[in-house]
Structure 1
Amino acid sequence: MMNLTSSTSFDFKAEIIGAYSAWDFAFNKADAKAVAATYVSNAKVLPPTHQVISGPEEIENFFAGLFSGGFTDHKLTIIDAGGDEKVVYSTAKWSAEGKGPDGSRQSAGGIATHVFERQADGSLKLRLHTFN
């Protein structure tokens, strides 16, 4: 277990950039199981549909639905990050490509908020993810 003391300093921005890179990589492989693995077991995803998505199975199914709809080329760009040794938060711009009703490529994007929990090994997993 990682020993975290008050003298421990974190580079929150670098940690978030790493977490975003891993998330984008899983998304862009259309690997719903790998995306769901980036969340804690009782995580919530709050998409613009106002649906509350809870836990690994629902999260995996939600992203599988996006992938079946042709979404790809996801990119998170950090706006802000902060936190402490237990909880890290960030805001980001997101963009992706999807398919319109006629099958043509359409760009999508918006703003996302993420709350991460630091795991015993020091890694970050998502507790809350909301986007518009």
Structure 2
Amino acid sequence: MDIKSIIETANLAWNKALNSGSVKTLAALYTDNSIISAGNGIIHTGRDEIEKLFMEFVKNGVHNHTLEIIEVGGSDKVIYQVSKWNANAAESSSFGGIAMSVLEQYSDGKWLINSHVWNVKS
């Protein structure tokens, strides 16, 4: 199993979904009971909440999101990544930080995000 390739494929799909404004596609990359936090102490659970959160990002003009892998690991059916992320806001300012996500493999072979936490560099 090439963990880095799996993560790179997942990252490409994630960036494509957010950058195109397709929040339904983005939410589908998460498990039904995913937990995410945007570094503000608020936890969002499940695809509906995730979709609402990312809809706000899209409405606020977040675009050109990228991920640069720092580290990957895991085994069998659970893998993780630590990455640097960067994006632009509506006014073209750039912002970013560090993200960590955990992916689970399901019986159909599909990898979905189970946990995703990030911060914003000040």
Under a length normalisation based on structure 1, what TM-score does the superposition of the two structures give? 0.87
Distance 1:64 1:119 in 2: 26
d(CA) in 2 for partners of 1:22 and 1:86? 19
Aligned-pair identity (%): 35
1:48 Cα deviation after fit: 1.8
**What is the aligned residue count?**
119
What does the per-residue CA deviation read over 1:18-64, in whole Å, with 9 as the maximum and x for residues that have no partner?
A: 10001001011111111100000000111122110000100000000
> What is the alpha-carbon distance in structure 2 between the residues aligned to residue 95 and residue 15 of structure 1?
20
Aligned to 1:69: 60
Q: Which runs of 4+ in 1 moved over 4 A?
A: none
The amino acid of 2:105's aligned partner reads R
Instruction: Output the aligned Cα RMSD.
Output: 0.8
TM-score (norm 2): 0.94
Letter in 2 for 1:59: I
**Max Rg structure:** 1
Q: Deviation at 1:123?
A: 2.1
Correspondence 1:1-132 to 2 at 5 A: 10-99=1-90, 104-132=91-119
Distance 2:41 2:16 in 1: 26
5+ long unaligned stretches in structure 2: none
